[in-house]
Amino acid sequence: MKQNKIKITYKKIYILLYTTSMTDNTNATFIFECILRNNNFMGAVDQFIETIIKNTNTFSPENVPQLVLLIMTMLSESYVVKNETDLAQLFEIFYNYIMTKINKYKDDHNYDFWFYEEKFKQSFQICVKLAVLKLNLSVNKNKSNSWCCFY
């Protein structure tokens, strides 16, 4: 599949998004573009990343669940993501944004810290799968008015 590079400029932050085609994740891209315009949403995400880096001199995988929870909470308050595909693609775009933000902050402030990108990515993917599961459970609960039990 051919990959297109899209460059989005927002507040001097350059993000390269790699997508297979524009039609594959139009909803996720549209939602992310709307979120980029929301200063409160993006400010909270940026502030969280900067605070963690300032306080710990790194961004470890242990901070990922809090970050995903922050994003999910703000998404549920302001936006409607109706299916798991859109949510997964939206978090893929967020992953690229977060990585760019961490690397840019590291470069701008001359921080020399160890950043385990592979562990960060694994933790991020697990948290996103849990977020998608939560969406599925809440959608199914609303449709059937029943509870889902795990044994």
Q: Does residue 133 form part of some domain?
A: yes
Position 106 confidence tier, pLDDT thresholds 50, 70, 90: confident
Q: Give how many domains the chain has, as a whole number.
A: 1
Q: Does residue 7 form part of some domain?
A: no
Q: Does residue 108 form part of some domain?
A: yes
Q: Does residue 32 form part of some domain?
A: yes
Q: Does residue 19 form part of some domain?
A: no
Question: CA dihedral in degrees (102, 103, 106, 107; nearest 10)?
Answer: -150
Q: Does residue 74 form part of some domain?
A: yes
Residues 6+ apart with CB under 8 A from 45: 67, 70, 71, 74, 97, 98, 101
Structure tokens belonging to residue 28 = 């996720």
More confident residue, 79 or 25: 79
In angstroms, what CA-CA distances link 88 with 40, 49, 129, 139? Answer: 22, 21, 8, 15
Position 94 confidence tier, pLDDT thresholds 50, 70, 90: very high
In angstroms, what CA-CA distances link 106 with 2, 3, 42? Answer: 31, 28, 18
The helix (run of H) or strand (run of E) holding residue 139 is helix 117-144
pLDDT of residue 112 exceeding 80, the answer is no
Q: Does residue 125 form part of some domain?
A: yes
Range of the domain at 83: 26-138
More confident residue, 9 or 101: 101
If you count them, how many residues does the chain have? 151
Q: Does residue 11 form part of some domain?
A: no
pLDDT, tens only, 15-66:
333 333 344 557 888 889 989 999 999 999 999 999 998 888 888 889 999 9
Residue that is written with structure tokens 């891209």 in the block: 29
Q: Cα–Cα distance between 28 and 33 in angstroms, integer? A: 9
pLDDT of residue 141 exceeding 60, the answer is no
